[in-house]
């Protein structure tokens, strides 16, 4: 007569029957139904093939022995002396949803090699190596004439709308000079500095006044646009990003064309600081700026190269929240990648995402939230666990680790890259890999903030455009240094030198064609020197070989404060308010010939007692000249 067995023993036999390859028939009954049936009458209606094994297994296994043998220890390996049958029995856990079965021992199936093989060589693409000859050409890859032509056309439309017939059409040279001054402002870290201070005789830099008047710069900042205002309302109903959508999509499309990321790619969020009116402005208390525009970013872990970006525009029309938004974002940003590993935080990580990435030959490592239905409840327990202890659970292609860094603190990570519970020091290898690859997007945000070209604005499209300029300059720097690794190799501030050279390369072509001469002697001397170099056919010096004669003078330089180089007509016998010392009153650069008549240049016309009125919108057209 067959012997009755307990419920735990029946569960062991069922899982053994499922996992062993020599089972004769598959049962169509669920595990719970099998257990109840065996418990009620296993002696008479047993469906097991060899009931004689029950007595042997019962004598071999016991609940106490099972608890002793089952120890998902820090190494994630079976206890010593555990047989193959023991590994297949007693180490199974169900997820909260009941759809996923986790085991305490790694799967013996081989890993998918295709998910770890890169199809392309990391670094600059063949296109970028062919096209990049200098710093300016590296920038032109990311911000070409095709994109800036859209900006130029829309800006001219807005200029004619604001100033009417007084507006003179801008050309590409002037637009590049405007961008160059933005970059130079970032080099001098003048993000919070007044524009009047940059053009001021005592506190400013000569290159700003030598390039264009302050009135011209402010007029361009006022009217710069990225779309046609006439059909914007119709487009805005379907797309919240309509004000800059064309420029943004064209720019994002070009990012992956010039650099191949390495084996690890980080996906995270970036916040563009902005407190103005925006339909999709976000509040993120964990970010330094707290308020701004959220950008999903995929960056190369090694270099923080921005490989793909996506603007978060809030909930779709109708106010219905998007389902599976995190998975959709990761799949969108990782499109066209193959053989890479994706590192993400707990907002994105899920078991379903890991399986979808495996189908695309990608792996995933990331922290996971404790409320996910794919987690087994046993993995969340921290009672009785020592500090720095780890527990591992596995499926055929996914690993889970629970790490206790301090008392009652549980950190959960999921990985489809790692297949074993290897420990590095006191931490699991999964956690070490995550810590080494998680910060690429944050590092990008930190780097572009140091020399940011952003200026204060209340228009969110312009705030996004400033961020595009910052990222373009950084990506160009990554491409340039990868192609020319010895360029300023021993310099500690290579990126500052790169931005300084880029800014000069953008402003000098317009400065060389400028006809008006600034009143400030130092600024006029600088402009004449550059124009003389252009006439002589001399090249622009790089920051590595620059001298004091070619770099912008410091605002504290004695040559600026020295009365010997300043014209008596500029010096004032008594301090004047800032409004009376407007740069527009001192530098009639780019004005019409009537404004530069001999009578206007006489000392009496430039006496300190004469106060020039502030420029009105009707006079802006005379300050914006073509090259």
- Highest mean pLDDT, choosing among 193-197, 257-261, 618-622: 257-261
* pLDDT on residue 602: 40
Torsion over CA: 39, 43, 44, 50 (sign): positive
Span 122-166, pLDDT tens digits: 999 999 999 999 999 999 999 999 999 999 999 999 999 999 989
Contacts within 8 Å (CB) and 24+ apart, 552-557: 552/184, 552/188, 552/205, 552/206, 552/207, 553/205, 553/206, 553/522, 555/202, 555/203, 555/204, 555/205
Three-state SS for 529-556 is HHHHHHHHCCCCCCHHHCCCCCCCCCCC
Token digits of residue 173 = 């040279």
Token pair for residue 352? 């379903």
Cα 34–38–39 angle (5° rounding)? 115
Q: Which residue from 313, 303, 217, 218 is spatially nearest to 262, judged by alpha carbons?
A: 303
pLDDT of residue 153: 96
- Token pair, residue 52, equals 């004689």
Structure token digits, residue 286: 């964990």
pLDDT digits (tens, 9 = 90+) for 27-74: 343 334 343 433 444 333 333 333 333 333 333 333 332 233 334 334
- Percent of the chain residues topping a pLDDT of 90: 51
Q: What is the mean pLDDT of the chain?
A: 76
Three-class secondary structure of residue 115 per DSSP: helix
- Of 458, 433, 451, 468, the residue nearest 253 (C-alpha): 468
What's the confidence (pLDDT) of residue 90?
44
In 3-state terms the chain splits into helix, strand, coil percentages (rounded to 5) of: 45, 10, 45
Residue 564's φ and ψ, nearest 5 degrees, are: -70, -25
* Residue 11: band (very low, low, confident or very high) from pLDDT cuts 50, 70, 90: low
What DSSP string describes 16-29?
Answer: HHHH-TT-S----S
Between 171-180, 260-269, 308-317, the lowest mean confidence (pLDDT) is in: 308-317
276 within 8 A of 332, measured Cβ to Cβ:
no
Interatomic CA distance for residues 163 and 219, integer angstroms? 10
Query: Quick check: helix, strand or coil at residue 100?
Result: coil
* Tens digits of residue pLDDT in 410-460: 999 999 999 888 888 889 999 999 999 999 999 999 999 999 999 999 999
Q: Note the pLDDT of residue 598.
A: 37
Give the per-residue pLDDT at 446. 94
pTM above 0.75, yes or no: no
CB 298 within 8 A of CB 265: yes
Taking the C-alpha atoms of residue 289 and residue 270, their distance in angstroms, rounded to an integer, is 11
Structure tokens at 133: 């000859």
Contact 389, 366 (CB under 8 A): no
Beta-strand relationship, 282-283 and 101-103: unpaired
Cβ contact 293:281 at 8 Å: yes
């Amino acid at each position: 007569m067959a012997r009755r067995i307990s419920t735990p023993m029946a569960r062991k036999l069922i899982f053994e029957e499922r996992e062993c390859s020599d089972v004769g028939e598959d049962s169509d009954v669920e595990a719970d139904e099998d257990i109840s049936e065996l418990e009620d009458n296993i002696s008479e209606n047993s469906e097991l093939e060899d009931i004689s094994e029950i007595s042997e297994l019962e004598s071999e296994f016991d609940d106490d022995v099972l608890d002793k043998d089952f120890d998902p220890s820090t190494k994630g390996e079976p206890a010593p002396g555990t047989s193959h049958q023991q590994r297949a029995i007693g180490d199974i856990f169900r997820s909260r949803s009941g759809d996923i079965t986790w085991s305490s021992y790694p799967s013996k199936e081989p890993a998918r090699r295709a998910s770890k093989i890169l199809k392309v060589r990391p670094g600059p693409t063949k296109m970028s190596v062919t096209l990049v000859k200098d710093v300016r050409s590296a920038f032109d890859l990311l911000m070409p004439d095709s994109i800036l032509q859209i900006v130029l056309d829309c800006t001219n439309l807005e200029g004619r709308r604001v100033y009417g017939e007084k507006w003179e059409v801008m050309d590409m040279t002037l637009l590049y000079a405007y961008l160059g001054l933005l970059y130079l402002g970032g080099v001098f870290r003048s993000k919070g500095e007044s524009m009047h201070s940059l053009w001021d005789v005592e506190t400013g830099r000569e290159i700003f006044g030598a390039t264009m008047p302050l009135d011209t710069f402010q007029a361009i900042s006022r009217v710069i646009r990225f779309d046609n205002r006439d059909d914007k309302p119709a487009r805005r109903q379907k797309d919240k990003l309509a004000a800059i959508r064309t420029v943004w999509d064209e720019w994002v499309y070009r990012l992956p064309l010039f650099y191949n990321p390495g084996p690890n790619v980080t996906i995270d969020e970036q916040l563009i600081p902005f407190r103005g009116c925006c339909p999709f402005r976000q509040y993120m208390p964990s970010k330094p700026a707290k308020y701004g525009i959220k950008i999903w970013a995929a960056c190369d872990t090694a270099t923080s190269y921005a490989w793909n970006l996506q603007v978060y525009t809030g909930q779709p029309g109708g106010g219905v929240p998007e389902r599976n938004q995190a998975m959709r974002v990761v799949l969108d940003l990782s499109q066209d990648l193959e053989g890479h590993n994706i590192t993400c935080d707990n907002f994105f990580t899920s078991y379903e995402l890991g399986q979808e990435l495996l189908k695309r030959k990608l792996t995933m490592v990331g922290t996971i939230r404790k409320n996910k239905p794919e987690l087994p409840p046993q993995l969340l327990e921290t009672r009785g666990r020592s500090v720095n202890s780890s527990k591992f659970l596995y499926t055929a292609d996914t690993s889970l680790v629970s790490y206790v860094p301090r008392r009652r603190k549980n950190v959960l990570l999921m990985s489809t890259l790692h297949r074993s519970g290897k420990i590095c020091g006191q931490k699991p290898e999964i956690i070490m890999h995550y810590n080494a690859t998680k910060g690429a997007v944050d590092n990008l945000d930190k780097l572009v903030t140091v020399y940011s070209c952003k200026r204060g604005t209340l228009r969110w499209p312009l705030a996004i455009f400033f961020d595009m300029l910052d990222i373009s300059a950084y990506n160009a720097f990554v491409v340039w240094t990868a192609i020319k690794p010895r360029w300023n190799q021993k310099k500690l501030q290579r990126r500052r030198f790169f931005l300084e050279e880029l800014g000069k390369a953008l402003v000098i072509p317009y400065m060389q064609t400028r006809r008006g001469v600034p009143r400030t002697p130092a600024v006029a001397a600088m402009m004449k020197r550059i124009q003389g170099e252009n006439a002589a056919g001399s090249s622009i010096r790089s920051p590595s070989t620059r001298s004091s004669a070619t770099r912008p003078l410091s605002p504290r330089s004695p040559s600026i404060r020295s009365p010997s180089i300043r014209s008596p007509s500029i010096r004032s016998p008594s301090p004047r308010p800032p409004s009376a010392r407007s740069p527009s009153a001192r530098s009639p650069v780019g004005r019409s010939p009537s404004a530069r008549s001999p009578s206007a240049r006489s000392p009496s016309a430039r006496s300190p007692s004469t106060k020039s009125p502030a420029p009105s919108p009707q006079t802006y057209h005379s300050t914006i000249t073509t090259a």
